[in-house]
Amino acid sequence: MADIEDTHFETGDSGASATYPMQCSALRKNGFVMLKGRPCKIVEMSTSKTGKHGHAKVHLVGIDIFSGKKYEDICPSTHNMDVPHVKREDYQLTDISDDGYLSLMSDNGDLREDLKVPDGDVGASLRTEYDAGKDILCTVLKSCGEEVVIAVKTNTALDK
Amino acid sequence: MSAQAISELEAAAQIIMAPPDIVSNEQRHSAESIFLNFRKSKSPYGLCREILENSQNQYVMFEAAEVLKGAIIREWSFLLDTDRSSLRQYLVQYITSHEVPHFVRDRIIQVIAIMVKRTSIDDKGKERAVILQEVENLIINGESEKKLLGCYIITNLIQEYATTVKSADVGLPWEVHFKAKKQFEATDLKRIFQFCVYLISEVVKNDPPYDGIMAQLTRHLLQITERILTWGNVSAILPKRLIGIYESVYESDQSCALKLSSAWGEVMFNPEFLPLMFQIYWKVRDVDELAHHAMTCLVQLATLSGAVVSNVPNRVKYLHSYLVNFFKLVSNVTIKDKESLGISSIVRKIVMFYVGDFYKLPEPLIHDTLLDEVTRLTCLFCEGAVREDADPDADRFFSESLENMLEAWNSIYHDFHQITDESITSCGMRIFNKYVQCHLAQPDGIRIPDTGGGNNVDEDIEDNDRIKYKEQLQIVGLFGRCVLSHSLPVLFKILEARIASLLSHLLVMQHRAMTVNEAAVLDSIYEDIHWAVLISGHVLCMESDGETAVIPADIMRYSIEQFKNGKVDKDDSVDALVYVDARPGLPDRAEYLDHTIRVAFNVLRLCAIEDLAVSMKLGHLWSPEVSSSLMWFMKRWYRTYLLIPLDNYFNEVGYVFWSCLEKDSDCTQIQIEFIINKIAANLYNFQSEPVVLKDTVAVFSDAICTKRKVPYIIKTEAMAKLISLAENLQPGSLPSEVLRGLYKGFVSAGVYITSSSEKNKYYETILNPLRLRFKNIITQENFAKVCQDDQVQKVVIDLLECLIGIAKGSQMASVDTLFDFLSPILAELPVFLTFYKDYQVIVQLILELFGQCAKYMLCYLRPLDSKKLYESSLATVQAYAKCNGNRLSTETFAEESSCQDLSLVLDVFTCILSRDCIELFQATNQRELVRVTAADVALFGLNFIMPLMTLELLKFPNLCAQFYHLLVLINDIYPEKIANLPQDMLASLLKTIELGLTDFGNDIAHTALDFIHGMSIYVFRSKVQDTPFGSAVKAFLKLTMDLALSHQFNSDMMSNVSATIYCLICSFEDEYQMLVQTLIHLQSDPLVAERLSEAFENLIQGVCWTNQRDYRLRFRNNFEKFIANVHGFLLVK
């Protein structure tokens, strides 16, 4: 368990801890947890015990919210696990620069240009939709000091 | 010509068998197509014969046999009798004179068997009798290899006749298969059996070990005998579906009983027959592959029933002979583990079939042998089971055998104990003692110490003991109640001794850490306690699921007896229970306690000690398994004993139970406080033990479901404390199901409060804090900002869990109060969902809440309230769809997440729809007109989520099934709503149904057929053939017919297919005629076209298109024959 307790991520802006402790038994499926030092979404959770009269242990399977890698851990249910603060924010896409950076505008009008076009299908569709002049909303996932665009949504007239 | 064909096939076979790096893909494909064409060749008999004679290539030979099989089935009716018999003779001659590989031989034998069966349909088995004669001669007189061949032929013949529903010979309709089976059964089955028995009697003259051929022959004989004894002798009256189940049951190794006609009497009652069967088993029991078949024969013989044993003297004589031979066997051998399964099955089955005849047996056999031997075997298997339990890798032979024996005991006890009560009691005591002993540590018991202390026990997969051994425990409980004066003292002494050791351990551990050895001892104490509690729970209480639990009569009688004999003191018994919380020790006058009370007192004392251990900071040393077992015992104790009503139970004044358990006594009130306090303590102390929490909530749920008892609980101080504990716990400290269970319990209990002002007050105590909590969250100024805050999220999650619990606890009497509370919250949830759209846990809880409201509340709601719920649900789903429509995500888990979400959405609609089937709301004077029906809501809602239901998502089987079931449900209730859908929506819906027929497997195809069937009925009834909807439905006629003809539906679905097609033809007869003509014209072969046209004529024979039941059934029968026929000759790709 040492590797987890040693890894506390500090976010650059606020100075607050990137994680907070939570008793293992209070975690839940589809929630978040730090596994092997990475922020993960819990996709499987089961309990077991050591010996018939032993105490409960929680077996966790999680998927790294940024890389999609799978991690596992097992922990006595009385112990604390680190839970990452996970924030998601929506931005309006205003421009895509030639070197592949996005210009994003938040609800309150702040502009940022430090995030890249996501890889793969989502990135490709983002470009086509943008070139077609559509109104695009990007969801930015932020946790443990990392940030990435995880979803794009094309606003249709209906949604407005 | 044929030589060329053969060499072409041989070349192709070489390519197919070649290693992948030598041949190219194209070569392989063309070789495959050569064989595919070969399989389709017409009248291939000459060619196949030539191949068998001349080719050296085994693959080609096998294919030739396969082609023969296909051709025979397809072209049987075109073949001349002489051709048939010459071909058959040739094949028999061929396999007797040629050395061929076994897979070729087997296939040829199958072809012969099919031919024999086909011929027997026309000649009533005349030819078969001749063939059997030949085969018998072969087995008796032939050389060793030929003997085996004869056995193969018989085995195949039996196999060919045995299955009718899923027969390989598809050319015949089921009725003909079945008739053939019955005919075979009546004439030749017994003959084969007698032949085998004769041969076995020859075999037993020799002593094992048998040499190669002898061993093989014996195995064949035993297999054939076994096959005949497990033959599904089903009555001809049963419908096909049931017969199909019988036949598949045989395959699954759970053979049905041996039910024979009286004609079999001469075989079964032959005095030498049973001894022979036991003797052959005795001889081969050391040879695994033979012993298994011989044992199955014995087990089957224990189930002999039917007309053959309708004569009572014969029946008893058979039973007597069987038992004598059986006891001779079991008393002379050391039973091996695998063997125990057979032996225990024999006991179980003989009891099942013959228990009513036991008392007709001669006395000494019953008393001295039967009961004694069965008891001995039970104890023996119990010990074996203990050994198996100690080794996690061991097979569970003895454990399963023990289950069999105990099941047998259950019948013996109930049917038999009036006749010979005393013997049964002594057997009961022996088994009870053995069982207890087997579960106690040494020196008192014989349990093998658990050496694998570090083994992981997976709580989500593995059942705990009280579920795994439930049946065993029930019967042991029954035996315990037979001998209460023995069993209760045994139990309380064990409990008291272990509690004393436990207390001394705890005292030591307060001061220092445990040694490894001490930890092992402690574990062993826990295990003893755990089992003592389980057994006590079963002796004291009977299973009472679904009925009122009562104190077992034996226990009442015993308690009264003790009191009358002056052995117990009422006040001491009461005192023990009243002060159980205050002192962990045993009272001074413990020997004056009523024995039942003393057992329960000890378990209650354990609960108190558990709390004590936690308060001493020793909770980490306590066993959660024991905590769970204690809660389980509490549940039973409360259910059966506490708050017994005044009337009908008691007529003895001053009786001990009365003072300890009666509803108005202080002692009872104190016990109730004790239990509720214990629940609260567990919720607080064991938050990290999900299983203990679950069992704790189970006690609570159970406690508040008895109307009569609830008022006593609600007025306790402990209950008020429990409610306040639930409110004030840190958010997130209880698992979801526990929190829900708790709130469900709170609101369910309120229903039983009679005074309405008190009731309102009670509900306010529970609901008001939640209302405030919700208000505090959403009225925060900066909610949009702080909603992502982790602490806020936790509060929201807990709150939603409580609300779900409340929805689940709704009942007719409370629904108005609860919905008044919920409805303003539900109305806010669409907005809420938009805030939390990226937080799946919360989104899912919101959707689940609506699902549960629809499921548990909607049917009781007043129309206006229903409308409110519809509106909130729709708005929520719309919000969900809006957040997720046109959205592309890079998350790895995105698809699974959407699948989970949508499944919840479908749940909401499915539950809403059932509202239109069940309406239970109390009629009021409200004359509101609510025009919205549940189907509107569901269809409208489906419209929102249709764009999200991608083809990829439908590949998740559960979601797919749920989706199609919902569509069928809507269609069943409101076909007219479907018919009137806007054109584009209808089109996409029907496209989905079309996909369902082909793309997602049989179950979904079945559902899609149901949908089409429903629509076609609607079209027919409301005469809307000429509307756009009608023509959309029309398209399914061709589609379904095409799919049926091209083998796309499996045989189980044929009755649904025929019903659907019939109904479609009723509306679209012209269309059908055109379809038939097209199909016939498409055939290039005039012979096939003619047969097809004939088949279509037969299909509509005697059928009118009026959608009446008798025509529908006639069409169903015709259709089945039609499909069997057409599949035989029509090769559709």
Chain A positions touching B455 (Cβ under 8 A) are 50-51
Inter-chain contact B893–A31, Cβ cutoff 8 Å? no
Any A CB within 8 A of B155 CB:
no
Residue A121 lies in a domain: yes
Any A CB within 8 A of B620 CB:
yes
Q: Which band of pLDDT confidence, cut at 50, 70 and 90, is reported for residue B623?
A: very high
Examine the domain organization and report whether A64 and A122 are in the same domain: no
Cβ of B728: how many Cβ atoms within 10 Å? 8
Q: Which band of pLDDT confidence, cut at 50, 70 and 90, is reported for residue B721?
A: very high
Q: Helix, strand, or coil here: B953?
A: helix
In this model, does residue B817 exceed pLDDT 50? Answer: yes
Residue A3 lies in a domain: no
pLDDT at A7: 46
pLDDT at A12: 44
How many CB contacts within 8 angstroms connect chain A with chain B? 133
Helix (H) / strand (E) element for A121: namely helix A120-131
Examine the domain organization and report whether A80 and A127 are in the same domain: no
Interface of B with A in 704-743 (CB under 8 A): 732-733, 735-736
- The DSSP line for B248-266 is HHHHTT-PPP-B--GGGHH
Q: Which of A55, A84, A113 is the last residue in one of the domains?
A: A84
Q: CA B760, B766, B772 angle in degrees (round to 5)?
A: 105
Q: Which chain A residue has the Cα nearest residue B456?
A: A50
Chain Cα centroid distance, residue B748? 31
Q: Tokens representing A153? A: 């949504």
Contact B165, B178 (CB under 8 A): no
Nearest Cα of chain A lies from the Cα of B678 at a distance, in angstroms, of: 20
Q: CA B389, B395, B399 angle in degrees (round to 5)?
A: 55
Spell out the residues 6+ positions from residue B1125 whose beta carbon is closer than 8 angstroms to its own.
B171, B173, B1091, B1095, B1098
Percent of chain B with pLDDT over 90: 40
In this model, does residue B130 exceed pLDDT 90? Answer: no
Which residues, in sequence order, are bridge partners of residue B259? B305
Residue A13 lies in a domain: no
Examine the domain organization and report whether A72 and A107 are in the same domain: no
SS3 string, B764-798, reads HHHHHHHHHHHHHHHCCCCHHHHCCCHHHHHHHHH
| Cα–Cα nearest to B743, from B770, B721, B710 | B770
Any B CB within 8 A of A23 CB:
yes
Q: CA B1044, B1047, B1049 angle in degrees (round to 5)?
A: 65
Helix (H) / strand (E) element for B1079: namely helix B1069-1082
pLDDT in tens, B194-233: 999 999 998 888 887 788 888 888 999 999 999 899 887 6
Q: Tokens representing B1000? A: 């997602």
Q: What is the pTM of this model?
A: 0.85
Q: How many residues does chain B have?
A: 1133
| Cα–Cα nearest to B607, from B724, B695, B714 | B695
Interface of A with B in 63-122 (CB under 8 A): 63, 65, 68, 76-78, 83, 85, 87-88, 118-122
Nearest Cα of chain B lies from the Cα of A158 at a distance, in angstroms, of: 9
Cross-chain CB nearest to A156 (options B454, B455, B886): B886
What integer is the mean pLDDT of B308-324? 92
Contact B1021, B1014 (CB under 8 A): no
Tell me the average pLDDT of chain B. Answer: 87
User: For the domain that residue A93 is a member of, what is the CATH number?
Assistant: 2.40.50.140
Q: Which of A84, A106, A131 is the last residue in one of the domains?
A: A84
- Which residue did the predictor score with more confidence, B998 or B742? B742
Q: Helix, strand, or coil here: B437?
A: helix
What does each C-alpha distance from B1124 to B159, B205, B842 come to in angstroms? 20, 49, 54
Examine the domain organization and report whether A117 and A130 are in the same domain: yes
pLDDT at B919: 58
pLDDT at B362: 82
Contact B610, B630 (CB under 8 A): yes
Chain A interface, best mutation among B888, B897, B898, by max A CB count within 10 A: B888
Cβ of B911: how many Cβ atoms within 10 Å? 22
pLDDT at B915: 73
Residue A33 lies in a domain: yes
In this model, does residue B647 exceed pLDDT 50? Answer: yes
Domain enclosing residue A50, as ranges: 19-84
Examine the domain organization and report whether A80 and A95 are in the same domain: no
Residue A14 lies in a domain: no
pLDDT in tens, B1066-1095: 999 999 999 999 988 988 888 888 888 998
Q: Which band of pLDDT confidence, cut at 50, 70 and 90, is reported for residue B80?
A: confident
Examine the domain organization and report whether A80 and A97 are in the same domain: no
In this model, does residue B916 exceed pLDDT 80? Answer: no
Examine the domain organization and report whether A92 and A152 are in the same domain: yes
Nearest Cα of chain A lies from the Cα of B1032 at a distance, in angstroms, of: 29
| Cα–Cα nearest to B698, from B753, B737, B726 | B737
Examine the domain organization and report whether A104 and A126 are in the same domain: yes
Residue A53 lies in a domain: yes
Q: Which band of pLDDT confidence, cut at 50, 70 and 90, is reported for residue A63?
A: very high
Nearest Cα of chain B lies from the Cα of A47 at a distance, in angstroms, of: 6
pLDDT at B242: 66
pLDDT at B1: 54
Q: Which chain A residue has the Cα nearest residue B622?
A: A53
Q: What is the DSSP letter of B812?
A: T
In this model, does residue B925 exceed pLDDT 70? Answer: no
pLDDT at B742: 95
Residue A4 lies in a domain: no
Q: Which band of pLDDT confidence, cut at 50, 70 and 90, is reported for residue B74?
A: confident
For B706-755, strand residue ranges (E) read none
Residue A122 lies in a domain: yes
Overall number of domains in chain A? 2
Examine the domain organization and report whether A77 and A102 are in the same domain: no
Any A CB within 8 A of B844 CB:
yes
Q: Which of A62, A84, A106 is the last residue in one of the domains?
A: A84
Instruction: Measure the CA–CA gap between B132 and A126, rounded to whole angstroms.
Output: 77
User: For the domain that residue A54 is a member of, what is the CATH number?
Assistant: 2.30.30.30
Cross-chain CB nearest to B889 (options A46, A83, A150): A150
Any B CB within 8 A of A150 CB:
yes
pLDDT at B254: 60
- The DSSP line for B297-342 is HHHHHTT-BSGGG-SHHHHHHHHHHHHHHHHHHHHHSPPPHHHHHH
pLDDT in tens, B1123-1133: 877 876 765 43
pLDDT in tens, B381-410: 999 998 888 887 888 899 999 999 999 998
Examine the domain organization and report whether A99 and A70 are in the same domain: no
**Comparing A143-147, B187-191, B1045-1049, which segment has the lowest mean pLDDT?**
B1045-1049
Inter-chain contact A46–B453, Cβ cutoff 8 Å? no
**Comparing B64-73, B654-663, B888-897, B981-990, which segment has the lowest mean pLDDT?**
B654-663
Examine the domain organization and report whether A133 and A77 are in the same domain: no
